[in-house]
């Protein structure tokens, strides 16, 4: 599911919600476009396994305020992102840690993510189908 978010008050497109990911990822190219400096990263000494088995180096991690939804749907949480320097059609991967902190229920059938926003209210972020198609078209491994 592809959505858009506000990360550190910066509008970020091409955000993929991946329920199978045990981490949240911010790609270095997006990190730099947000005007952030690599000196802000905290050390994280490990490698990640990519989707096709390749090893991906982690530059470090950073905790950033991330805004889900708009208006009455808005909920801001602090998300820990691992910053990686790897080519991707996406700018951010929202994995299970952020989804759990958000209290989100994700429905790929309905292409929506729902989460509590307080006072018995439920926020909703819907998939951006147009952006998802663009990401698919940009993907070099698309069949």
Q: What is the pTM (predicted TM-score) of this model?
A: 0.89
- Would residue 102 count as lying in a domain? yes
Judged by DSSP in three states, 102 sits in helix
Summarize pLDDT for 69-93 with one digit per residue, the tens: 998 889 999 999 999 998 888 999 9
- Would residue 143 count as lying in a domain? no
- Would residue 43 count as lying in a domain? yes
Residue 60 belongs to domain with CATH number: 2.40.70.10
Strands 2-7 and 10-17: antiparallel
Summarize pLDDT for 98-125 with one digit per residue, the tens: 999 999 999 988 999 999 998 889 999 9
What does the alpha-carbon distance between residue 84 and residue 103 come to, in Å, rounded to a whole number? Answer: 26
- Would residue 64 count as lying in a domain? yes
Range of the domain at 36: 2-138
Helix (H) or strand (E) holding 125: strand 121-126
Number of domains in the chain: 1
For the chain, count helices (H), then strands (E).
3, 10
């Amino acid at each position: 599911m592809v959505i858009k978010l506000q990360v550190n008050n910066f509008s970020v497109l091409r955000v993929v919600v991946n329920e199978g990911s045990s981490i949240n990822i911010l790609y270095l190219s997006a990190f730099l476009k947000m005007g952030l400096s690599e000196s802000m990263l905290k050390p994280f000494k490990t490698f990640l396994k990519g989707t096709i088995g390749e090893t991906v180096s982690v530059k470090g991690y950073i905790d950033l305020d991330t805004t889900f939804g708009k208006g009455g749907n808005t909920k801001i949480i602090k998300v820990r992102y691992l910053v990686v320097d790897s080519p991707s059609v996406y700018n951010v991967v929202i994995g299970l840690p952020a989804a759990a902190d958000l209290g989100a229920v994700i429905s790929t059938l309905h292409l929506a993510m729902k989460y509590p926003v307080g006072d018995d209210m439920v926020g909703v972020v819907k998939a951006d189908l147009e952006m998802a198609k663009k990401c698919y078209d940009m993907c070099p491994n698309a069949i």
